[in-house]
Amino acid sequence: MGFQQTFKALSDPTRREILQLLQNGSLAAGDIAAKFQVSGATISHHLSVLRDAGLILDEKRGKYIYYELNMSVVDEIIGWFGLLRGGKHEKE
């Protein structure tokens, strides 16, 4: 994971809100877009940035694309922040 790309993705409040929506499980792109007062194309762009940063995963089911949090990347970020706070981190 590239931290620069991840932090760039996290720098936008809309993208952070999308991540919060996904904390309860996967959602279709249309369901995500319905929560915002911006165009579907704008939400699509935000989803692409989050996906490219590895923060979300997408899966096509029928004619819909569903998005969910990529918990392995979220866990890696949390672990890195733990190091900053002086937490223990196991080296592989």
Give the span between the Cα atoms of 87 and 62, in whole angstroms.
44
Instruction: Evaluate whether 54 touches 35 at the Cβ level (below 8 Å).
Output: no
pLDDT digits (tens, 9 = 90+) for 46-82: 999 999 999 999 999 999 999 999 988 888 888 888 8
> Is the pLDDT at 90 greater than 70, yes or no?
no
Residue 92 has pLDDT above 60, yes or no: no
Q: What is the pTM of this model?
A: 0.82
CA distance 65 to 74: 21
pLDDT in the model for residue 1? 53
Q: What percent of the chain has pLDDT over 90?
A: 65
